A and B are shown apart, each in its own frame.
Chain A
Amino acid sequence: MTESVIHFTHAVNVAPQSDADAIQKAVIDAIQDFGTEKFALSLCESRDAATNKLAA
């Protein structure tokens, strides 16, 4: 599976932007270091539970 590259830009709307930018950059960096696919699958609570239950 090809890892998607998430290009960082910036969040808009509420000032100040520095902390929003910092958080967004940190989250994206962490996802890329963690492994984008592994991270995305960690969000699949209901599907994971369904799969486990159906397999049981």
Chain B
Amino acid sequence: MTDTQNEHNIQIGGKHFIFKPFNQQTFTATEKAWLSDAQAGEAFVPDVLQGMAWAKDHMTLVDNGVAYGVFIDKAHIAIGICELVVTKPDVRGKWVKLLRLRVRPEIEELLFKNDPSALATAVNAYVCAVIGVYHVKNVHKATTIKVYARTQEQMRFLTLLVTKLNEQEDATFKAAIQGRWLTLNWKKHD
């Protein structure tokens, strides 16, 4: 699989984002910036270290897991880190799951200060994460994508999102809530 296949360009409101796995350069820049944020009191250092360790171990697909970063254009520091799992639970096809989106601690801190720019950045990171998972599904010729709700608030959001997804007239997937998962299923891969 080439880097080009793994790099997905996403336009939102005229802004350009890239959803892609980390390389050594982007990982090092992201780790340094996120740890600096944490050391400034914007998150617990052990939490950030734990997330970065997982990302470092999953810059490529390892034990079904892979870390993707959400980047603003050509930036080396990710605004979000996505924990993805690619599985083949049965003969019908592969699943790509978004387990978690970690937002950069600095952005989280600014959100709590009602910063409109941080609000837009966090929302865009999430939109990129979901669209990115769809693109990863196509790369892996998977038939299903799943998005996990880690909190009750996220669960309430996914419950609203499933309705919106099923209202899309041109869509070829079926959306449903299964437990704490939003599931989008295609009869066959594209």
Question: Which positions in A face B, CB cutoff 8 Å?
Answer: 1-2, 4, 6-16, 18-31, 33-34, 36-47, 49-51, 53
Contacts of B131 in A (CB 8 A): 11, 20, 23-24, 27
**Set B14, B126, B139: member contacting A43, Cβ < 8 A:** B126
Identify whether the interface residues of B are mostly helix, strand, loop, or mixed.
helix
Contacts of B165 in A (CB 8 A): 22-23, 26
Known: A19-B171, A30-B164, A39-B126. 18 other contacts (CB 8 A): A8-B12, A8-B13, A9-B12, A11-B8, A14-B135, A18-B172, A21-B170, A23-B134, A24-B131, A25-B164, A26-B165, A27-B164, A28-B12, A29-B164, A34-B157, A42-B153, A44-B111, A46-B105
Q: Is B190's CB under 8 angstroms from A30's CB?
A: no
Q: Is B108's CB under 8 angstroms from A46's CB?
A: yes
Which chain B residues (103-140) contact chain A, with CB distance < 8 Å?
A: 103, 105, 108-109, 111-112, 114, 116, 118-120, 122-127, 130-131, 134-135, 138-139
Does chain A have a CB within 8 A of B187?
no
Does chain A have a CB within 8 A of B90?
no
Contacts of B116 in A (CB 8 A): 1-2, 4
Contacts of A21 in B (CB 8 A): 170
Q: In the complex where A6-B120, A31-B123, A37-B119 touch, is A47 in contact with B13 (Cβ < 8 A)? A: no
Q: Is B151's CB under 8 angstroms from A4's CB?
A: no
Q: In the complex where A28-B127, A40-B122 touch, is A11 in contact with B10 (Cβ < 8 A)? A: yes
Residue of A nearest to B11 (CB): A9
Q: In the complex where A34-B160, A40-B119 touch, is A20 in contact with B135 (Cβ < 8 A)? A: yes
Q: Is A24's CB under 8 angstroms from B127's CB?
A: yes
Contacts of A50 in B (CB 8 A): 42-44, 47
**Nearest chain A CB to B16's CB is how many angstroms away?**
9
Report the separation of the CA atoms of residues A34 and B172 in the bound assembly, to the nearest whole angstrom. 25
Q: Is B134's CB under 8 angstroms from A44's CB?
A: no
Q: Is A19's CB under 8 angstroms from B123's CB?
A: no
